[in-house]
Amino acid sequence: MAQHGQFSNQAPLISIIVAVYNDWALLDGCLHSLAQEKEIPFEVIIVDDGSKEPAPEYIQCRSDCYPLTILRQDHAGISVARNRGVRSAKGSVLLFVDSDSRVQTNCLAALASAIGDFPEHSYFQLRLVGDRSGAIGRAEDLRLKVLQDHLLQSNGRIQYLNTAGFAVRRGKLQANQGLFDPAVLRGEDTLLLATLIQRGDLPLFISQATVQHTVPLSFVGCLRKDVRSAYLEGRAYDIIASKGVRIRMSNRERFGALWSTWKASRHDSIGRSAWFVLVTRQLLQRTTSLIYRLIGSSAKPHPEPSGASAGSALR
């Protein structure tokens, strides 16, 4: 289903691709955040990865604000869903966000500016922040800030890729070729990063283009999700290991990053409680990853819901 809004007479510069699985209310917040973007022509492509119910009317009504396409498929996983969006996109730049992403003011303008200013770059990582309204969100903000600072290189590239806010030039892709490996159910963005590391083509970090990553779960809900995500990511890390690419931090780097988060958490805007939330999630996810490596990956898990980002532990 395709409908048109205020940019109907302009070819979109940016195609925003969002995969969703049941999280319609969460997606509505993402779509609402895009309604403020007035300067850059864009389209939104929603790929419904087999949700129990089709897109509700309040989602479809977003077509009054901008061109909106809703594609529906059988539940096949986030990689397949995003690749479906890629094949349908019309823009020269593809921007991937999640249903729990909130595009901040002038984000698309900053992305468009970077695309024009740096024609030698094809991949772009947007700056991610957390929602500081609660301890879970402050922990996410703390994690993202330290992680991005730690992995940012002096040349402006970053050894980090998170599809809560990641863009690529369409011309970089071959016709009808997907960007994400459909063999993995989680960690598809990390696997893509490993491929870019092999090519020596890391994403350019755009600090002015900001996306807020919300975490709408309770603390217990986050822990449950972390366990499942860490297990599902095992397949992606198996493939990365076969490539001979180092993605994970060493123990020394990890302790250094955690020390940085501890120092940053002393500020009242973050707080020590956020640090303890972060460390608890980190330990649980690392333990799950260790268990996966010990027992192997003989059991094939079911496809992971497509609405949210990878687990929130430091990597």
- Tell me which of 180 and 217 has the higher pLDDT: 180
Please state the domain extents for the chain: 2-216
Place of tokens 């729990």: 100
pLDDT digits (tens, 9 = 90+) for 76-134: 999 999 999 999 999 999 999 999 999 999 999 999 999 999 999 999 999 999 998 88
Report CA torsion sign: 184, 188, 192, 194: negative
- The pTM score is 0.87
- In this prediction, residue 283 carries a pLDDT of 87
Place of tokens 């350019």: 204
DSSP 314: -
pLDDT digits (tens, 9 = 90+) for 119-162: 999 999 999 999 988 899 999 999 999 999 999 999 999 999 99
For residues 22 and 16, give the distance between their C-alpha atoms in angstroms, rounded to a whole number: 19
Report CA torsion sign: 49, 50, 52, 57: positive
Percent of the chain residues past pLDDT 90, beyond the cut: 60
31, pLDDT greater than 70: yes
- 2-216: which CATH topology? Spore Coat Polysaccharide Biosynthesis Protein SpsA; Chain A (3.90.550)
The token pair at 21 is 């699985």
Instruction: Give the least confident one: 2-11, 58-67, 95-104, 141-150.
Output: 2-11
For residues 107 and 150, give the distance between their C-alpha atoms in angstroms, rounded to a whole number: 22
pLDDT digits (tens, 9 = 90+) for 210-250: 999 999 888 898 888 888 888 888 889 889 989 898 887 77
